[in-house]
């Protein structure tokens, strides 16, 4: 194998490209951007995929949360209505109407108001 003298930028025998320190005289101006390796492209694709997956997960969780709040509100509204109707029937028959049915209805109504207020404030903050 032939050795190049020190300071000579000529490629050695069997080399494919220019020497490591060689500067191309035909390329004035800013140096071109280094090529992006396959590993860097794969890493960038994985980061993009993870970001898209996280966005889909957040959207799915938000939709599931809205459905859960709506179902809980419907359930509390039904319990409030049913407890109120039971309290009215118990009062008309002369039975105890305040403690079991009216208290349960009041607790369900308070829970419904709290749930709707929380949902409304959370929706306003998200906008």
> Is 12 part of a structural domain of the chain?
no
> Is 6 part of a structural domain of the chain?
no
Distance in angstroms (rounded) separating the CA atoms of residues 78 and 115: 14
Q: How confident is the model at residue 3 (pLDDT cuts 50, 70, 90)?
A: low
Average pLDDT, the chain: 85
Number of compact structural domains in the chain: 1
- The answer on pLDDT for 54 being more than 60 is yes
Of 19, 24, 15, whose CA–CA distance to 7 is shortest? 19
Distance in angstroms (rounded) separating the CA atoms of residues 118 and 68: 13
Q: Which residue has the higher pLDDT, 50 or 34?
A: 50
Q: Which residue has the higher pLDDT, 31 or 26?
A: 31
- Degrees (nearest 5) of the Cα angle 110, 113, 118? 125
> Is 115 part of a structural domain of the chain?
yes
> Is 18 part of a structural domain of the chain?
no
Angle at which helices 103-126 and 38-93 cross, to 10°: 150
- The answer on pLDDT for 65 being more than 60 is yes
Is the distance from CB of 73 to CB of 112 less than 8 angstroms? yes
Q: How confident is the model at residue 124 (pLDDT cuts 50, 70, 90)?
A: confident
Domain range for 75 is 38-126
- The answer on pLDDT for 2 being more than 60 is no
pLDDT in tens, 67-109: 999 999 999 999 999 999 999 999 999 999 998 999 999 999 9
> Is 121 part of a structural domain of the chain?
yes
> Is 102 part of a structural domain of the chain?
yes
- The answer on pLDDT for 12 being more than 90 is no
């Amino acid at each position: 194998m032939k050795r190049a003298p020190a300071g000579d930028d000529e490629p050695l025998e069997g080399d494919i490209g220019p020497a490591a320190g060689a500067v191309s005289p035909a390329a004035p101006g800013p140096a071109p951007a280094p090529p992006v390796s396959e590993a860097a492209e794969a890493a960038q694709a994985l980061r993009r995929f993870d970001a898209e997956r996280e966005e889909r997960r957040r959207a799915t969780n938000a939709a599931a949360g809205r459905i859960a709040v709506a179902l809980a509100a419907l359930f509390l509204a039904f319990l409030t209505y049913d407890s109120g109707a039971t309290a009215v029937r118990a009062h008309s028959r002369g039975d105890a109407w305040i403690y079991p049915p009216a208290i349960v209805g009041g607790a369900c109504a308070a829970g419904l108001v709290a749930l709707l207020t929380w949902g409304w404030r959370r929706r306003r903050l998200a906008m």
